Structure 1
Amino acid sequence: MPPLTPPLIPSAAALVLAAGNSSRLGQPKQLLVYQGETLLHRAVRTALAAGYAPVVVVTGALDAELRHAVAGLPCQAVHNPDWAAGMGASIRAGLAALGPAATAVLVMSSDQPLITAGQLAELARHQQATGAPAVAAAYADAFGIPALFTASALADLHNIRPEQGAKPLLARYGPALALVPLPDAAFDVDTPAAYQALLDR
Protein backbone atom coordinates (compact mmCIF):
# COMPACT_ATOMS: atom_id res chain seq x y z
CA MET A 1 0.00 0.00 0.00
CA PRO A 2 1.63 3.32 -0.99
CA PRO A 3 1.67 5.98 1.70
CA LEU A 4 -0.96 8.68 1.44
CA THR A 5 1.38 11.38 2.64
CA PRO A 6 5.09 10.57 2.94
CA PRO A 7 6.45 11.95 6.21
CA LEU A 8 8.62 15.03 5.89
CA ILE A 9 11.14 13.58 8.34
CA PRO A 10 13.49 11.02 6.78
CA SER A 11 13.56 7.63 8.52
CA ALA A 12 10.52 8.36 10.66
CA ALA A 13 9.56 5.04 12.23
CA ALA A 14 6.49 4.06 14.22
CA LEU A 15 6.03 1.99 17.37
CA VAL A 16 2.54 0.52 17.77
CA LEU A 17 2.12 -0.43 21.43
CA ALA A 18 -0.02 -3.56 21.78
CA ALA A 19 1.42 -5.32 24.82
CA GLY A 20 -1.36 -4.95 27.39
CA ASN A 21 -3.73 -7.64 28.64
CA SER A 22 -6.92 -5.54 28.34
CA SER A 23 -7.90 -6.22 31.94
CA ARG A 24 -10.68 -3.61 31.94
CA LEU A 25 -12.19 -4.97 28.74
CA GLY A 26 -12.06 -8.66 29.57
CA GLN A 27 -10.84 -9.67 26.12
CA PRO A 28 -7.88 -8.64 23.92
CA LYS A 29 -8.78 -5.21 22.62
CA GLN A 30 -6.07 -5.47 19.96
CA LEU A 31 -8.16 -8.20 18.30
CA LEU A 32 -11.54 -6.47 18.44
CA VAL A 33 -13.00 -6.00 14.97
CA TYR A 34 -14.04 -2.61 13.61
CA GLN A 35 -15.04 -2.03 10.01
CA GLY A 36 -13.83 -5.45 8.98
CA GLU A 37 -10.37 -5.46 10.57
CA THR A 38 -8.87 -5.82 14.02
CA LEU A 39 -7.90 -2.69 15.92
CA LEU A 40 -4.24 -3.73 15.71
CA HIS A 41 -4.38 -4.27 11.95
CA ARG A 42 -6.07 -0.89 11.58
CA ALA A 43 -3.42 0.89 13.67
CA VAL A 44 -0.53 -0.62 11.70
CA ARG A 45 -2.22 0.05 8.37
CA THR A 46 -2.85 3.66 9.37
CA ALA A 47 0.79 4.24 10.35
CA LEU A 48 1.96 2.76 7.06
CA ALA A 49 -0.52 4.83 5.07
CA ALA A 50 0.79 7.95 6.79
CA GLY A 51 4.26 7.15 5.47
CA TYR A 52 6.01 5.93 8.62
CA ALA A 53 8.53 3.14 8.12
CA PRO A 54 9.58 0.85 9.53
CA VAL A 55 6.58 0.07 11.72
CA VAL A 56 7.25 -2.07 14.80
CA VAL A 57 4.44 -3.73 16.76
CA VAL A 58 5.29 -4.40 20.40
CA THR A 59 3.45 -7.44 21.73
CA GLY A 60 3.30 -8.65 25.31
CA ALA A 61 0.48 -10.53 27.01
CA LEU A 62 -0.31 -11.96 23.58
CA ASP A 63 2.26 -12.61 20.91
CA ALA A 64 1.35 -15.29 18.37
CA GLU A 65 -2.22 -14.03 18.04
CA LEU A 66 -1.09 -10.46 17.40
CA ARG A 67 1.52 -11.52 14.89
CA HIS A 68 -1.21 -13.37 13.04
CA ALA A 69 -3.42 -10.25 13.12
CA VAL A 70 -0.83 -8.22 11.20
CA ALA A 71 0.37 -11.00 8.89
CA GLY A 72 0.66 -9.63 5.38
CA LEU A 73 1.40 -6.06 6.49
CA PRO A 74 4.98 -4.80 6.06
CA CYS A 75 5.74 -4.47 9.75
CA GLN A 76 7.92 -6.12 12.37
CA ALA A 77 6.58 -7.62 15.59
CA VAL A 78 8.73 -7.77 18.72
CA HIS A 79 7.72 -9.45 21.96
CA ASN A 80 8.27 -7.61 25.23
CA PRO A 81 8.44 -10.24 27.99
CA ASP A 82 8.38 -7.46 30.59
CA TRP A 83 5.13 -5.95 29.28
CA ALA A 84 3.55 -5.96 32.75
CA ALA A 85 6.20 -3.50 33.97
CA GLY A 86 4.52 -0.69 32.03
CA MET A 87 4.42 1.27 28.81
CA GLY A 88 8.02 2.41 29.15
CA ALA A 89 9.23 -1.19 28.98
CA SER A 90 7.35 -1.69 25.72
CA ILE A 91 8.70 1.55 24.26
CA ARG A 92 12.23 0.45 25.09
CA ALA A 93 11.65 -2.97 23.53
CA GLY A 94 10.38 -1.32 20.36
CA LEU A 95 13.32 1.06 20.20
CA ALA A 96 15.75 -1.83 20.60
CA ALA A 97 14.14 -3.52 17.62
CA LEU A 98 14.41 -0.35 15.54
CA GLY A 99 18.09 0.12 16.23
CA PRO A 100 19.96 3.34 15.41
CA ALA A 101 18.56 3.87 11.91
CA ALA A 102 15.42 5.78 12.92
CA THR A 103 15.90 9.53 13.25
CA ALA A 104 12.36 10.10 14.51
CA VAL A 105 9.87 7.77 16.17
CA LEU A 106 6.10 7.95 16.33
CA VAL A 107 4.69 6.31 19.47
CA MET A 108 1.07 5.24 19.12
CA SER A 109 -1.42 2.82 20.61
CA SER A 110 -3.46 0.08 19.03
CA ASP A 111 -6.68 1.18 20.75
CA GLN A 112 -7.35 4.61 19.19
CA PRO A 113 -9.24 3.48 16.07
CA LEU A 114 -10.53 6.92 15.07
CA ILE A 115 -7.03 8.24 14.36
CA THR A 116 -6.46 8.67 10.62
CA ALA A 117 -3.37 8.51 8.42
CA GLY A 118 -3.75 12.20 7.65
CA GLN A 119 -3.65 13.04 11.34
CA LEU A 120 -0.50 10.98 11.89
CA ALA A 121 1.15 12.65 8.92
CA GLU A 122 0.18 16.05 10.34
CA LEU A 123 2.35 15.37 13.39
CA ALA A 124 5.39 15.11 11.10
CA ARG A 125 4.38 18.18 9.10
CA HIS A 126 3.93 20.19 12.28
CA GLN A 127 7.34 19.14 13.54
CA GLN A 128 8.93 20.32 10.31
CA ALA A 129 7.14 23.65 10.65
CA THR A 130 8.05 24.21 14.31
CA GLY A 131 11.36 22.37 14.80
CA ALA A 132 10.00 21.04 18.10
CA PRO A 133 11.80 18.11 19.74
CA ALA A 134 8.48 16.33 20.15
CA VAL A 135 4.94 16.75 18.83
CA ALA A 136 1.95 15.30 20.68
CA ALA A 137 -1.75 14.96 20.10
CA ALA A 138 -3.86 17.48 22.04
CA TYR A 139 -7.34 16.41 23.08
CA ALA A 140 -9.88 16.94 25.87
CA ASP A 141 -7.69 19.51 27.68
CA ALA A 142 -4.82 17.02 27.73
CA PHE A 143 -2.05 15.73 25.49
CA GLY A 144 -0.41 12.40 24.80
CA ILE A 145 0.01 9.75 22.15
CA PRO A 146 0.15 9.52 19.26
CA ALA A 147 3.32 11.54 19.64
CA LEU A 148 6.37 12.02 17.46
CA PHE A 149 9.85 12.16 19.02
CA THR A 150 12.67 13.57 16.89
CA ALA A 151 16.40 12.88 17.02
CA SER A 152 16.97 15.37 19.83
CA ALA A 153 14.38 13.59 21.99
CA LEU A 154 15.26 9.98 21.27
CA ALA A 155 17.84 9.80 24.06
CA ASP A 156 15.12 10.66 26.56
CA LEU A 157 12.84 8.04 25.02
CA HIS A 158 15.57 5.38 25.25
CA ASN A 159 15.99 6.20 28.95
CA ILE A 160 12.30 6.09 29.81
CA ARG A 161 11.58 4.14 32.99
CA PRO A 162 9.74 0.84 32.49
CA GLU A 163 6.72 1.96 34.48
CA GLN A 164 6.56 5.39 32.87
CA GLY A 165 4.15 6.37 30.12
CA ALA A 166 4.89 8.80 27.32
CA LYS A 167 2.92 11.69 28.81
CA PRO A 168 5.29 12.54 31.72
CA LEU A 169 8.19 12.50 29.27
CA LEU A 170 6.36 14.83 26.89
CA ALA A 171 5.52 17.16 29.77
CA ARG A 172 9.22 17.63 30.51
CA TYR A 173 9.63 19.60 27.28
CA GLY A 174 7.35 22.34 28.58
CA PRO A 175 6.76 25.10 26.04
CA ALA A 176 9.14 23.37 23.60
CA LEU A 177 6.53 20.63 23.12
CA ALA A 178 4.42 21.20 20.01
CA LEU A 179 0.77 20.17 20.05
CA VAL A 180 -1.56 19.22 17.21
CA PRO A 181 -5.30 19.22 17.99
CA LEU A 182 -6.49 15.62 17.49
CA PRO A 183 -9.81 15.28 19.31
CA ASP A 184 -10.21 11.74 17.94
CA ALA A 185 -7.27 10.67 20.13
CA ALA A 186 -9.49 11.09 23.19
CA PHE A 187 -11.43 7.98 22.18
CA ASP A 188 -9.81 4.70 23.13
CA VAL A 189 -11.30 1.26 23.51
CA ASP A 190 -10.69 0.22 27.12
CA THR A 191 -14.12 -1.02 28.22
CA PRO A 192 -17.04 -2.96 26.73
CA ALA A 193 -19.05 0.28 26.71
CA ALA A 194 -16.35 2.04 24.69
CA TYR A 195 -16.29 -0.79 22.16
CA GLN A 196 -20.06 -0.67 21.85
CA ALA A 197 -19.88 3.10 21.34
CA LEU A 198 -17.34 2.51 18.58
CA LEU A 199 -19.62 0.00 16.86
CA ASP A 200 -22.57 2.34 17.21
CA ARG A 201 -20.72 5.00 15.22
Structure 2
Amino acid sequence: MFTTGLVLAAGASVRLGEAKQLLPYRGRTLLDATLELARSCGFDQLLVTLGGAARPIRERVDLTGCQVVENAAFSSGCGSSISTAVRAVDPRADALVLLLGDQPGVRAADVRRVAAAAAPLAVCRYADGLGHPFRFGREVLPDLADLHGDKAVWKLLRSGRHPVTEVPADGPVPIDVDTRADYERLLAGGA
Protein backbone atom coordinates (compact mmCIF):
# COMPACT_ATOMS: atom_id res chain seq x y z
CA MET A 1 0.00 0.00 0.00
CA PHE A 2 1.31 3.48 -0.93
CA THR A 3 0.76 5.96 1.89
CA THR A 4 1.26 9.71 1.89
CA GLY A 5 1.91 11.53 5.15
CA LEU A 6 0.85 15.16 5.51
CA VAL A 7 2.15 17.41 8.29
CA LEU A 8 0.20 20.64 8.72
CA ALA A 9 2.56 23.51 9.63
CA ALA A 10 1.15 26.52 7.77
CA GLY A 11 -0.65 28.29 10.61
CA ALA A 12 0.14 31.81 11.72
CA SER A 13 0.13 30.93 15.46
CA VAL A 14 -2.22 33.82 16.22
CA ARG A 15 -3.18 32.56 19.70
CA LEU A 16 0.45 32.02 20.67
CA GLY A 17 1.82 35.25 19.23
CA GLU A 18 4.93 33.72 17.63
CA ALA A 19 5.71 30.92 15.17
CA LYS A 20 4.97 27.83 17.24
CA GLN A 21 6.66 25.66 14.62
CA LEU A 22 9.98 27.21 15.71
CA LEU A 23 9.55 26.94 19.48
CA PRO A 24 12.41 25.07 21.18
CA TYR A 25 11.54 21.49 22.03
CA ARG A 26 14.01 18.87 23.25
CA GLY A 27 17.04 20.43 21.55
CA ARG A 28 15.33 21.26 18.25
CA THR A 29 12.19 23.01 17.04
CA LEU A 30 8.67 21.77 17.62
CA LEU A 31 8.23 21.17 13.89
CA ASP A 32 11.57 19.31 13.68
CA ALA A 33 10.31 16.91 16.37
CA THR A 34 7.08 16.26 14.48
CA LEU A 35 8.86 15.80 11.15
CA GLU A 36 11.27 13.35 12.78
CA LEU A 37 8.26 11.36 13.97
CA ALA A 38 6.71 11.51 10.49
CA ARG A 39 9.94 10.33 8.84
CA SER A 40 10.07 7.35 11.22
CA CYS A 41 6.64 6.16 10.06
CA GLY A 42 7.84 4.96 6.66
CA PHE A 43 5.52 7.03 4.47
CA ASP A 44 6.04 6.61 0.74
CA GLN A 45 5.57 10.37 0.31
CA LEU A 46 5.83 13.05 3.00
CA LEU A 47 4.21 16.45 2.48
CA VAL A 48 4.45 19.44 4.80
CA THR A 49 2.39 22.60 4.41
CA LEU A 50 3.96 25.97 5.14
CA GLY A 51 2.36 29.39 5.19
CA GLY A 52 2.61 32.03 7.89
CA ALA A 53 6.25 31.50 8.82
CA ALA A 54 7.45 29.78 5.64
CA ARG A 55 10.72 31.68 5.28
CA PRO A 56 12.06 31.22 8.83
CA ILE A 57 10.87 27.60 8.84
CA ARG A 58 12.80 26.91 5.63
CA GLU A 59 15.85 28.54 7.25
CA ARG A 60 15.70 26.71 10.59
CA VAL A 61 13.85 23.40 10.17
CA ASP A 62 15.27 20.25 8.58
CA LEU A 63 12.88 19.60 5.69
CA THR A 64 14.91 16.69 4.30
CA GLY A 65 12.66 14.09 2.73
CA CYS A 66 9.66 16.41 2.72
CA GLN A 67 7.84 17.87 -0.22
CA VAL A 68 6.89 21.41 0.81
CA VAL A 69 3.47 22.70 -0.20
CA GLU A 70 3.01 26.44 0.31
CA ASN A 71 -0.47 27.57 1.30
CA ALA A 72 -1.02 31.24 0.50
CA ALA A 73 -4.49 31.07 2.11
CA PHE A 74 -3.13 29.77 5.45
CA SER A 75 -5.02 32.39 7.46
CA SER A 76 -8.38 30.89 6.44
CA GLY A 77 -7.84 27.74 8.54
CA CYS A 78 -6.30 24.31 8.25
CA GLY A 79 -8.91 23.24 5.70
CA SER A 80 -7.13 25.38 3.13
CA SER A 81 -3.82 23.66 3.88
CA ILE A 82 -5.37 20.24 3.40
CA SER A 83 -7.19 21.19 0.20
CA THR A 84 -3.98 22.72 -1.17
CA ALA A 85 -1.81 19.75 -0.18
CA VAL A 86 -4.18 17.09 -1.54
CA ARG A 87 -3.33 18.32 -5.05
CA ALA A 88 0.29 17.26 -4.42
CA VAL A 89 -0.59 13.74 -3.25
CA ASP A 90 1.06 11.11 -5.44
CA PRO A 91 -1.50 9.52 -7.79
CA ARG A 92 -0.40 6.08 -6.53
CA ALA A 93 -1.47 6.92 -2.96
CA ASP A 94 -3.96 4.53 -1.38
CA ALA A 95 -4.24 6.69 1.74
CA LEU A 96 -3.30 10.01 3.28
CA VAL A 97 -2.34 10.23 6.96
CA LEU A 98 -2.73 13.64 8.54
CA LEU A 99 -0.47 14.86 11.36
CA LEU A 100 -0.32 18.23 13.10
CA GLY A 101 3.01 20.03 13.05
CA ASP A 102 2.46 21.25 16.62
CA GLN A 103 1.72 17.85 18.16
CA PRO A 104 5.08 16.10 18.70
CA GLY A 105 3.73 13.69 21.33
CA VAL A 106 1.98 11.43 18.82
CA ARG A 107 3.54 7.96 18.86
CA ALA A 108 4.80 6.35 15.65
CA ALA A 109 3.08 3.07 16.59
CA ASP A 110 -0.28 4.88 16.68
CA VAL A 111 0.43 6.49 13.32
CA ARG A 112 1.24 3.09 11.82
CA ARG A 113 -1.92 1.50 13.24
CA VAL A 114 -4.10 4.29 11.85
CA ALA A 115 -2.32 4.11 8.49
CA ALA A 116 -2.99 0.36 8.30
CA ALA A 117 -6.72 0.67 9.08
CA ALA A 118 -8.82 -0.76 6.28
CA ALA A 119 -11.41 2.01 6.31
CA PRO A 120 -12.24 5.08 4.26
CA LEU A 121 -11.65 7.24 7.34
CA ALA A 122 -9.78 6.31 10.53
CA VAL A 123 -8.92 8.27 13.67
CA CYS A 124 -7.18 7.50 16.97
CA ARG A 125 -9.38 6.79 20.01
CA TYR A 126 -7.36 7.90 23.04
CA ALA A 127 -8.42 7.42 26.68
CA ASP A 128 -9.99 10.90 26.75
CA GLY A 129 -11.36 11.18 23.22
CA LEU A 130 -10.63 11.18 19.52
CA GLY A 131 -7.48 12.77 18.14
CA HIS A 132 -4.91 12.91 15.37
CA PRO A 133 -3.57 11.26 13.37
CA PHE A 134 -6.35 10.77 10.83
CA ARG A 135 -6.29 8.40 7.85
CA PHE A 136 -8.17 9.13 4.66
CA GLY A 137 -8.52 6.40 2.04
CA ARG A 138 -8.29 7.20 -1.67
CA GLU A 139 -12.09 7.40 -1.89
CA VAL A 140 -12.09 10.31 0.60
CA LEU A 141 -9.40 12.39 -1.13
CA PRO A 142 -11.90 14.24 -3.38
CA ASP A 143 -13.71 15.43 -0.23
CA LEU A 144 -10.41 16.76 1.14
CA ALA A 145 -9.96 18.93 -1.95
CA ASP A 146 -13.13 20.82 -1.00
CA LEU A 147 -12.30 21.53 2.65
CA HIS A 148 -12.30 25.07 3.97
CA GLY A 149 -12.18 26.75 7.36
CA ASP A 150 -10.92 25.49 10.68
CA LYS A 151 -11.84 22.08 12.12
CA ALA A 152 -12.75 20.99 8.57
CA VAL A 153 -11.55 17.39 9.00
CA TRP A 154 -13.61 17.05 12.17
CA LYS A 155 -16.69 18.19 10.24
CA LEU A 156 -15.92 15.60 7.56
CA LEU A 157 -15.42 12.93 10.24
CA ARG A 158 -18.83 13.71 11.75
CA SER A 159 -20.64 14.19 8.42
CA GLY A 160 -21.61 10.52 8.04
CA ARG A 161 -20.46 10.53 4.39
CA HIS A 162 -17.83 7.87 5.06
CA PRO A 163 -17.57 5.00 7.53
CA VAL A 164 -15.19 5.87 10.38
CA THR A 165 -12.93 3.41 12.18
CA GLU A 166 -11.63 4.33 15.63
CA VAL A 167 -8.16 2.92 16.25
CA PRO A 168 -7.31 2.43 19.96
CA ALA A 169 -4.35 4.46 21.23
CA ASP A 170 -2.90 4.43 24.75
CA GLY A 171 -3.04 7.45 27.00
CA PRO A 172 -4.64 10.85 26.55
CA VAL A 173 -4.83 12.82 23.30
CA PRO A 174 -1.31 14.27 22.80
CA ILE A 175 -0.94 18.00 23.45
CA ASP A 176 -1.63 20.20 20.44
CA VAL A 177 0.25 23.47 21.01
CA ASP A 178 -2.04 26.43 20.35
CA THR A 179 -1.36 28.64 23.38
CA ARG A 180 1.51 29.45 25.72
CA ALA A 181 -0.18 27.28 28.38
CA ASP A 182 -0.24 24.32 25.96
CA TYR A 183 3.47 24.81 25.25
CA GLU A 184 4.28 25.01 28.96
CA ARG A 185 2.32 21.77 29.60
CA LEU A 186 4.25 20.08 26.78
CA LEU A 187 7.59 21.21 28.23
CA ALA A 188 6.53 20.09 31.70
CA GLY A 189 6.24 16.53 30.46
CA GLY A 190 2.81 16.26 28.94
CA ALA A 191 2.72 14.28 25.73
- Whole-angstrom distance in 2 between the partners of 1:77 and 1:175: 29
Equivalence for 2:58:
67
Contact 1:45 1:73 in 2 (8 A): no
Offset from partner CA, 1:3-37 (integer Å, 9 cap, x none): xxxxxxx2200111111111111211111121112
Are 1:38 and 2:26 matched, yes or no?
A: no
Tell me by how many angstroms 1:176 deviates: 2.2
The residue number in structure 1 matching 2:140 is: 153
After superposition, the Cα gap between the structure-2 partners of 1:177 and 1:65, relative to the gap in structure 1 and judged at 3 Å, is same
| In structure 2, C-alpha distance between the alignment counterparts of 1:194 and 1:104, rounded to whole Å | 30
Question: How far is the alpha carbon of 1:99 from its aligned partner?
Answer: 4.4
Partner in structure 1 of residue 186 of structure 2: 198
Between the aligned partners of 1:72 and 1:109, the Cα distance in structure 2 is 15
Structure 2 gap segments, 5+ residues each: none
Quick check: 12-21 or 143-152, which moved more?
A: 143-152
Question: Within 1, Cα distance between the matches of 2:77 and 2:106?
Answer: 23
Aligned twin of 1:6? none
Change (3 A) 1:38 1:162: same
1:98: how far off?
A: 2.2
Correspondences of 1:1-201 after superposition (within 5 Å): 10-71=1-62, 73-125=64-116, 127=117, 131-139=118-126, 141-163=128-150, 165-173=152-160, 176-182=163-169, 183-201=171-189
Q: Deviations over 1:117-147 (max 9, x none)?
A: 111111123x1xxx31111122365424310
Per-residue deviation at 1:174?
Answer: 7.2
**8 Å contact kept, 1:11–1:101:** yes
Among all aligned residue pairs of Structure 1 and Structure 2, give the percentage whose two residues are the same amino acid.
35
Q: How many Å separate the matches in 1 of 2:87 and 2:21?
A: 22
Supply the distance in 1 between the matched residues of 2:59 and 2:45 (Cα, whole angstroms).
18
Question: 1:172: Cα distance to partner?
Answer: 2.2
CA distance in 2, matches of 1:162, 1:97: 20
Report the more deviating stretch, 24-33 or 131-140: 131-140
- Following the alignment from structure 2 to structure 1, what is the Cα–Cα distance between the partners of residues 68 and 161? 33
Structure 2 equivalent of residue 5 of structure 1: none
Question: 1-side partners of 2:187 and 2:130: how far apart?
Answer: 25
Q: Please, what TM-score do these two structures have when normalized by structure 2?
A: 0.88
Letter of the 1:76 counterpart: Q
Give the helix-richer structure, 1 or 2. 1
- The answer to whether the 8 Å contact 1:59/1:80 transfers is yes
Check the 8 A contact 1:41/1:69 in 2, yes or no.
Answer: no
How far is 1:101 from its partner? 3.1
Q: Count how many residue pairs are aligned between Structure 1 and Structure 2.
A: 188
Give, as a single letter, the amino acid of the residue that structure 2 aligns with 1:121: R
Unmatched 5+ residue regions in structure 1?
A: 1-9
Structure 1 length normalisation: TM-score?
0.84
